[in-house]
Structure 1
Amino acid sequence: WQCQELQKYEIIAEVFNRHNQPRAWISTGPQQQHGTFYEFRTYYIQPHLNAAFLKLTTEKIHLRTAHSELIGYWSVEYGGLNQVFHIWKYDSYAQRASVRAALAQDPNWIEQYISKAMPMLSSQDNEVTYLVPWSKVQKPPKDGGVFELATFQMKSGGPAVWGKTFQAAVGTHTGSGYAHAVGVFHSEFGLLNQVHVLWWYESADQRAATRHTSHEDARVVAAVRESAAYLLSQKSKLMFPCAFSPIK
């Protein structure tokens, strides 16, 4: 009887500990202080229709921006062919739902753009992201140049786990003048535990030269090494802004 009672209490203690241990490892980290989020959209265009899609979008994008705020719209040059990448800002999920409902009832949008554009695409993808707590959207110091979307697959836990070291890695690049960070975002819907850094450079050649120099900077090397302890994989795309892109 005493053995049975002891086993029972051990089981109760184990359950209690399991439900009361720190949960940072599954946390999304410091929560947003407001509802604003950014939808990342990637459209994959049929190769022979790439030019036609970009022409149509340039002519008709005003039908879409009449409904919600466009942050930026880019054509991917390296790291993925026949793609466009765009970012839309929403104040809440309710606002996004109302925008999508309004678009579905907008005859100009449907007839002049969406009915023509959709057959040009092979697929689409979207992701909901939030700015990390220490970042904000900052336009480049001047128009022109190129943008790099660097995507990092991090270990589980979100900014609460990798935030400080990742902030240090980004900070050494921006603080040393190696690059301009337009924004740092982490995923909420889509592939989780991703963080995206949208960088701006004056040109592709300037980016190459800057990276060569920064890789010899002991401050950058040390910060990146610490952040890499939480990194699983990474990828990047080099993009050119479209003429109508608010950030360009």
Structure 2
Amino acid sequence: MLSRMVLARPLATRLYTPIVQQFSTKPTDGKDATPEGEEKKQGWISRILSTPDGVDNKQSHSSMLADTEVIYEFQTHDVKGGERDAYLQKYRNYAKEVNAAVPGNELVGSWNVLFGNQDQSIHLWRYAGGYGDVDRYIDSILHNNSVRAAEKEVNELVRRRRSVLVRSFSYWGEPKPREPNHIYDLRSYVLKPGSMIEWGNAWAKGISYRKEHNQNVAGFFTQVGQLYMVFHIWAYADMAARQHIRQDTWSKPGWDNTVAYTVPLIKKMKSKILIPNEFSTLR
């Protein structure tokens, strides 16, 4: 467990000295070889160490945390009781209309919440063209009659809607299609303002403890909506497998350091268990 003295240090000091030492991947035998799979992570760390004091004032935090311009959107819909089947049918049609209007947009994941906020559906969209595709989507919901009509049909079956725009952490990679059948654990964290770089620095190493069972799906940080918010998505064969894999992770030396460092950065956290819809790419 990190000492209170370490956590009390000024932010700039904590960001770039103790963490990089703690999570350093430099070989102890003096060789310069980089372990396979570590190149991308070290590239990320090199970006946050681009000036002597550890802060590159010419780059935004988003540029340091992400290495592509791809934008993702989480849509969260609270569906009216008893209307889920009708809602999913309408949403599937809406997704087709959006994709026809903006071919660069893709519905990557579509789930129903099983444990958590019930009667809730969550959809993950990918804007391959970045904010250019976001602008084209905005134009479609304002002026495309087919998209507007499909959206209206969806809205009639929804009590509440929320949306955030996010980018993918570079060390995590983009979400890839999965074959059936999985349950998904959507973990959301609201961080203390100013702590996103610290979080990314710690998880650039921490993610290596969570890959053995291919459970890591995606990691995102917000751009629009609730700021300083992080989403992690994990996939498991079932709830028993989830329990086993999580216990196995705690047996790995070093994982406890990741938890000990990142927990003080969190203001609020939540977990939802999701089951994919039949038209979801992530199954």
**Would you say same fold, with TM above 0.5?**
yes
CA displacement at 1:34 relative to structure 2: 4.3
Matched, 1:169 2:188: no
Matched, 1:87 2:124: yes
- The residue type equivalent to 2:126 in the other structure is K
Indicate the residue corresponding to 1:122 in structure 2.
159
Q: Secondary structure at the match of 1:47?
A: coil
- The residue type equivalent to 2:175 in the other structure is Q
Structure 2 unpaired stretches of 5+: 1-52
Indicate the residue corresponding to 1:47 in structure 2.
81
CA displacement at 1:142 relative to structure 2: 3.3
Q: C-alpha separation between the residues in 2 aligned to 1:22 and 1:209?
A: 39
TM-score for both structures, normalised by structure 2: 0.70
Q: Deviation string for 1:1-60 (max 9, x for gaps)?
A: xxxxxxxxxxxxxxxxxxxx9989xx6351645432111111111112122212333455
Matched, 1:149 2:186: yes
Q: Which structure would you say has the larger RCO, counting Cα contacts within 8 Å and 6 or more residues apart?
A: 1
Q: Is the 8 A contact 1:58 1:243 kept in 2?
A: no
Structure 1 runs (4+) greater than 6 angstroms displaced: 21-24
Q: C-alpha separation between the residues in 1 aligned to 2:177 and 2:260?
A: 27
TM-score for both structures, normalised by structure 1: 0.79
CA displacement at 1:191 relative to structure 2: 1.3
Which of 230, 233, 252 aligns to 1:195? It is 230
Structure 1 unpaired stretches of 5+: 1-20
Q: Deviation string for 1:74-112 (max 9, x for gaps)?
A: 11111111111111122232321222322443333344x
Which of 82, 87, 98 aligns to 2:136? It is 98
Q: Is the 8 A contact 1:153 1:195 kept in 2?
A: yes
Q: Return closer, same or farther for 1:187/1:59 CA change in 2, 3 Å cut-off.
A: closer
Q: Is the 8 A contact 2:195 2:265 kept in 1?
A: no
Q: Is the 8 A contact 1:148 1:239 kept in 2?
A: yes
Q: Is the 8 A contact 1:172 1:223 kept in 2?
A: no
> Root-mean-square deviation (CA), in Å?
2.5
Q: Is the 8 A contact 1:28 1:158 kept in 2?
A: no
Matches within 5 A, 1:207-226: 207-226=242-261
- Name the stretch that deviates more: 52-61 or 163-172: 52-61
Higher helix share: 1
Higher-Rg structure is 1
Aligned residue-pair number: 223
Identical positions, percent: 19
Q: C-alpha separation between the residues in 1 aligned to 2:259 and 2:66?
A: 26
- The residue type equivalent to 2:147 in the other structure is W
- Name the stretch that deviates more: 70-79 or 87-96: 87-96
Q: C-alpha separation between the residues in 1 aligned to 2:213 and 2:263?
A: 19
Q: C-alpha separation between the residues in 1 aligned to 2:90 and 2:267?
A: 39
Q: C-alpha separation between the residues in 1 aligned to 2:261 and 2:54?
A: 23
Q: Deviation string for 1:114-156 (max 9, x for gaps)?
A: 2322111111101111112322113265332111111122222
